[in-house]
A = this chain, B = another copy of it.
Amino acid sequence: MERAKHIGIIGLGLMGSSLALKLKKIGYVSHVYGYDHSAETVQEALNLQIIDEGCALKELIEKADLIIIAIPVDAIKQLLPKVLNLVDKTQVVMDLGSTKEGIAKQVFSHKNRKNYVACHPIAGTENNGPSAAFSSLFQDKVNIICDREQSSKYALEKALEVVSIAGMRPKYMTSKEHDRHIAFVSHLSHISSFTLGQTVLEVEEDEESIFDMAGSGFASTVRLAKSSPDMWAPIFVENADNILEVLDAYIKNLENYKSMIRKADSTLLNQTMKKANKIRKVLDSNAQ
């Protein structure tokens, strides 16, 4: 495995910072350049020794052998073509965005498309910024690589090195499949959780404090409502078509609960919940 001498991380949030930490820890890189639109974040990443040097975007693109883009998905769409304009044939570009189809379309016919590998590591927490980063974030997780036939063999090899070093196993699909499936298993969870938090906060505004009546089940279900709006608003907009379909299916099932409850149909409620109980097997086998 050839040592990648210089790496550039664009976006020093939880994902970019955690990956930098891991690649440094394992000795895969000799120098990490970091860029973030917030100077404060760059300073924080320097203080935490997540990056070795903060630098301007253009300088980072010039100097890094491997460029990792870890910014919100709308910003990736804007930036990726510009990055590809500037790279030479030895440079590899990866992104870590949570939607893939819009980005794929943006660079589909770019002359340097082959230098780019579309990645989505299925990892994260509800916390943000360099201070939330930790090197084991990606350990034993899945990294989805989309439209791999559009990346060069060299770029794909480099990306797979990073994926493997971070502790992840790769899974391949088209960007279209990715966006549809991730709407079900990630985007819906986030909206259901944000909305749960909102609904309970709204009633509390009008009434007395009720949160000391909330148990660990509530905490677990509402955890994702702590997630970053700056990251999630662009994801929801980018994946609108799939999310709207998934939300319709979810709301239909909620309406069905209303109907069963209104009719006091314990038997049907019981059967419906028993089916949902099958999620236990899935979660246990995933060892989440």
- Residues of A bordering B, CB below 8 Å: 74, 122-126, 141-142, 144, 171, 181-182, 184-186, 188-204, 207, 210-227, 229-230, 232-234, 236-237, 240, 243-244, 246-251, 253-255, 257-258, 260-262, 264, 266-267, 269-280, 282-283, 285-286, 288
Q: Which of A188, A212, A271 is most buried by chain B, counting CB atoms within 10 A of its CB?
A: A212
- Contacts A186-B214, A194-B273 aside, 5 further interface pairs with beta carbons under 8 A come to A184-B210, A192-B196, A195-B253, A201-B276, A202-B249
Nearest B-chain residue to A269, judged by Cβ: B233
Contact A277 to B226, CB < 8 A, known contacts A185-B218, A261-B236: yes
Query: B residues within 8 A CB of A271?
Result: 229
Query: B residues within 8 A CB of A232?
Result: 269, 273
Nearest B-chain residue to A285, judged by Cβ: B211
Query: B residues within 8 A CB of A258?
Result: 244, 247-248
Residue in contact with A276 in the complex, picked from B225, B249, B251, CB distance below 8 Å: B225
Rounded to whole Å, the gap between the CB of A145 and the closest CB of chain B is: 12
Nearest B-chain residue to A268, judged by Cβ: B233
Rounded to whole Å, the gap between the CB of A70 and the closest CB of chain B is: 16
Contact A229 to B189, CB < 8 A, known contacts A141-B215, A203-B184, A253-B198: no
Interface of A is mostly: helix
B122 touches A214 (CB 8 A): yes
Return 27 A-B CB contacts under 8 Å, by A number: A74-B266, A123-B216, A126-B217, A126-B280, A141-B215, A142-B212, A171-B213, A181-B207, A184-B210, A188-B199, A189-B222, A190-B217, A194-B276, A195-B254, A197-B279, A211-B282, A212-B286, A214-B282, A217-B224, A219-B283, A219-B286, A229-B274, A247-B257, A247-B258, A248-B258, A250-B254, A251-B255
B211 touches A185 (CB 8 A): yes
Query: B residues within 8 A CB of A260?
Result: 236
Query: B residues within 8 A CB of A288?
Result: 214-216, 218-219
Query: B residues within 8 A CB of A279?
Result: 197, 200-201, 222, 225-226
Complex-state Cα separation, A170 to B278, whole angstroms: 36
10 closest Cβ contacts across the A-B interface? Answer: A219-B288, A229-B273, A197-B279, A185-B214, A197-B276, A233-B269, A189-B221, A226-B280, A229-B270, A181-B210
Complex-state Cα separation, A260 to B243, whole angstroms: 12
A195 touches B240 (CB 8 A): no
Rounded to whole Å, the gap between the CB of A197 and the closest CB of chain B is: 4
Residue in contact with A223 in the complex, picked from B123, B217, B243, CB distance below 8 Å: B217
Query: B residues within 8 A CB of A215?
Result: 122-124, 141, 185-186, 288
Rounded to whole Å, the gap between the CB of A87 and the closest CB of chain B is: 29
Query: B residues within 8 A CB of A240?
Result: 261-262, 264
